Structure 1
């Protein structure tokens, strides 16, 4: 099979291009050369968590890889057949375990045997889906496509200490089924949770105070969780359980940013999603693209696509003879997969 070259500088120019490339290359046994890796990030090139994705993809496919080192801006990857089994991958930093899972879960869903993964690093990282999103939002959609995956958060890990542990058990299936998500249905429940790790409890209380006021939430829908010995961090989530789908939105505390600001930004995202009347939020939209491509069909209604989503679409279309039709209307977007 001829080598496929992927330019990591196009679109959003970040790590998503690398992860999607690795997942599809392993599944299809497609040799690839990825250049200009993370060209739009500073510093560019592979960081420890991206290198962990490359090495994990090589491990589950007996792959040969060139350029696999921190700082590298180009790799050449030639995967072999997928090898399901028991694997432990340690990022070695607080880098995101959930993003590492993105790179290797798709091919293992369709392997010829079960796999057990133990991933070590960060589990609640800015600019990455937290464990709760995978467990409550993405996993139910994969299950509806026929996938058999269970996740367990053994230990949370925040930056800079890391030390988190995520476990995944995958029972493969012969194929994934297309899904259609065009209706959200009535909203059944909205709940907010604020987590503080190694930080004062009042930070979480202030965040929940803002969310309670903005979204008229009563005490039973508000939860504070305090964690010890897993780094220093703060994450606040709002979960929307609707008739046909569950969505979750996340805000991360930042040094120098008031808790009220973090919560207010999160409330803005939630209100935009609710006002649009769509079932699929912008982050789930991005996560569903590779599974739909493996299933060979599907469509969903979402908010206007992020640059992550449009970039991910472009990468997938380089690997497979398919097209994602993106139809925008009245602040919403319908994304439908068709094969050529």
Structure 2
């Protein structure tokens, strides 16, 4: 039984997500204490609880402490079972953070897994679904891991109501990830999404125009779309497709936040990511760590964040993989 201290490092939900994932993959029971210790309201929130319950269902785990506000949970997996699963998150809990927990688990099922997750598709403190589709899934393909995601309905804060279908295929032939050079930018794909309530104000177009004003030196394919949602909201994601990699940046609309600021935020972020010369953006650097721990490899990231360092620490509690961080190069060697 591994005991993981949730107050380590950045002390957020990432420790919980990665611990449960690796517990499932190694078949090793774990106890996670001090969950989200650094947050104003520590313990499990509804989205964390739904992610844990889904993981427990998929790997037939025995559990303790699964309730809202719980600061200690026990998770004892048995076997990972493929099939169809539904994960209903009330209000605007993050769909993409649920995917962070479940995708690596489902990749190790003997049969294809189909997930239907409802909640917030594009919400604060998590990647947008466009980022998942453009960046995350394309980087996974380089390790021969295949995940197909479809947004059936968008959901923004506060009501959520979005729906995503994810089809995760068995990871049959793993490949180490060696990604240290991104190569030249070939194109930038933009998804500028706004609730239909905002169409008259041309929010999607204004977001895209502001983005293009900053990164006019690149070929940009902007898709502006208006969607039916339970409440107003908007999101923006730009993915730079390079010769060897894909880097992304996203931003969210909020009340009293001009559409132009949303597009400009993403542009400034992506510009910095590209200027770093690294093969992965900062957020992908966080998300890739559990996969590197499983297959090994070497990547360059624009910045090694506290999330990344914490994720490495969690992986080392479960696996014998040796991580080396040299400035912005991360190397993982399997034993």
- Fold equivalence (TM over 0.5): yes
- State which drifts further: 46-55 or 9-18: 9-18
Q: Distance in 2 between matches of 1:219 and 1:102?
A: 31
CA distance in 2, matches of 1:164, 1:114: 23
Report if aligned partners of 2:135, 2:239 keep a CA contact under 8 Å in 1.
Answer: no
Displacement of 1:175: 4.4
Q: Which residue of 2 aligns with 1:302?
A: 301
In structure 2, runs of 5+ residues without a counterpart are none
Q: Which residue of 2 aligns with 1:95?
A: 93
Quote the Cα distance in structure 2 between the aligned partners of 1:192 and 1:171: 27
Q: Deviations over 1:167-193 (max 9, x none)?
A: 122221334210201111111112433
- Aligned partner of 2:106 in structure 1 is 108
Mapping 1:42-61, distance limit 5 Å: 42-61=40-59
Q: Distance in 1 between matches of 2:189 and 2:52?
A: 37
Partner Cα distance (1:169, 1:74) in 2? 31
In structure 2, the partner of 1:323 is: 322
> How far does residue 220 in structure 1 lie from its aligned partner after superposition?
6.6
Instruction: Provide TM-score, normalisation by structure 2.
Output: 0.94
Aligned CA distance change for structure 1 residues 147 and 190 (closer, same or farther; 3 Å): closer
SS of residue matched to 1:221: strand
Summarize the alignment of residues 155-194 of structure 1 with structure 2, pairs less than 5 Å apart: 155-194=153-192
Q: CA deviation at 1:13?
A: 1.2
What is the alpha-carbon distance in structure 2 between the residues aligned to residue 144 and residue 304 of structure 1? Answer: 21
The correspondence for 2:83, drawn from 85, 93, 105, is 85
Corresponding residue pairs, total: 333
Secondary structure of residue in 1 paired with 2:16: helix
Provide, for residues 179-214 of structure 1, a one-character-per-residue CA deviation record: whole Å limited to 9, x for no partner: 201111111112433221133533333333322221
Looking at structure 1, the residues matched to 299 and 17 of structure 2 have their Cα atoms a distance apart, in angstroms, of: 22
RMSD (CA atoms): 1.8
- In structure 2, the partner of 1:226 is 226
Work out the CA distance in 1 between the residues paired with 2:38 and 2:220. Answer: 43
Spell out, residue by residue over 1:303-325, the C-alpha distance to the aligned partner (whole angstroms, 9 max, x if none): 12111111111111111011211
On the 8 A contact 1:48/1:93 being kept in 2, the answer is: no
Q: Deviations over 1:276-296 (max 9, x none)?
A: 11111011111111112122x
Q: Give the TM-score, by structure 1 length.
A: 0.92
Alpha-carbon distance between aligned partners in 2 of 1:52 and 1:106, rounded to the nearest angstrom: 17
Tell me how far apart the structure 2 counterparts of residues 72 and 211 of structure 1 sit (CA, whole Å): 42
Aligned to 2:313: 314
1:41 to 2:36 alignment: no
Residue 117 of structure 1 aligns to a residue in which SS? strand
Kindly indicate whether the alpha-carbon contact (under 8 Å) linking 2:188 and 2:241 is maintained by their aligned counterparts in 1: yes
For 1:205 and 1:22, the matched residues in 2 are separated by 41
Matched-pair contact (CA < 8 Å) for 2:186–2:242: yes
Q: Distance in 2 between matches of 1:171 and 1:191?
A: 25
Q: Answer yes or no: is the 8 Å Cα contact 2:80–2:108 preserved in 1.
A: no
Whole-angstrom CA distance in 2 between matches of 1:145 and 1:129: 21
Question: Are positions 1:338 and 2:333 aligned together?
Answer: yes
Match of 1:128 among 114, 117, 126: 126
Partners in 1 of 2:12 and 2:192 — Cα distance? Answer: 28
- Which structure 1 segments of 5+ residues have no match? none
| Residue in structure 2 matching 1:138, options 136, 139, 143 | 136
> The residue matched to 1:113 in structure 2 has which SS?
coil
